[in-house]
Amino acid sequence: MATLSLYIVSICFPVVLLTARFTQSAITKCEKISSCSCKTNNGKVIDLSPLAGVGTPRFKDKMSPSGDLFSWNPCFAFSEGGLSGLAACQQRPALPPLFYNTGSQDSAVFEVDASKGLQVVYTATTDVLRTTKVTLKCDHNKEQEFTAQGEVTPGVAVYDLTLVSKYCCEDEREITVTVTLSIGSILIIVFFSALLMYLLTGSVVQKYGRKAAGREIIPNYVFWSSVPGYIKSGFIFTGSCIKRTKTYDNI
């Protein structure tokens, strides 16, 4: 009986909470959602929007080993050195400094490099086609760390940047899914649960309290055995009423 009671309580409780721990598998692809977010093959989202600057780049004038300065901003375009609509920008030291558009926000794509992992890649055509690749490295304990490697291979106009951040990670938190039943579903569950309890409790009383046997174990057997007849009579009565109504309408 204790087990039965626990079962009834569990199915009558209107809200079911499901908690699951998801582990992260290797990222093999990431489908673009926006210029700063994508959905991985694991079904999770990587979202860089908490790092986005508005109007000015979040990461500005980071020096590369060659001495060039690089700026980058996820999500929103910025302006620098007389250029606008930028996602990434190169500043070459000169008098005056030279600025180059190395990628626009709308060109962003997410790719998985075999050796470097997930990257967001931007392109822009100025005097030549320029490409900026930002390698995204997950570190749950780090807000942000931005470095600029710059044009590793001179003359190819491909610029490497690296972001290490917790926002480069897939979400590994425990996820609680709450399923709320409708009022109608709750009433149905309560009705059948109460009916089940009534039948089981009544059968125990009939058998051990009143020493009943056979079909007499069913509580109020006479009433329940007559229910089908009552239902049949109800259908017949309803049908006859409908027929009489149609006859009156014809008259």
Name the DSSP letter for residue 251: -
What confidence tens digit (pLDDT) does each residue in 165-187 have? 999 999 754 444 445 667 877 88
Q: Is the peptide bond before 97 cis (omega within 30 degrees of 0)?
A: no
DSSP labels for 115-147?
A: TTEEEEEEEEESSSEEEEEEEEEE-TT-S-EEE
Low-confidence ranges of the chain (pLDDT < 50): 1-23, 173-178
Tens digits of residue pLDDT in 5-45? 444 444 444 444 334 344 456 899 999 999 999 999 999 99
Residues linked to residue 144 through DSSP beta bridges, in sequence order: none
Vertex 148: Cα angle to 146 and 154 (nearest 5): 165
The domain 30-168 having CATH identifier 2.70.130.10: the answer here is: yes
Domain positions in the chain: 2-13+182-250, 30-168
Cα separation, 128 vs 159, in Å, equals 13
pTM for the whole structure:
0.60
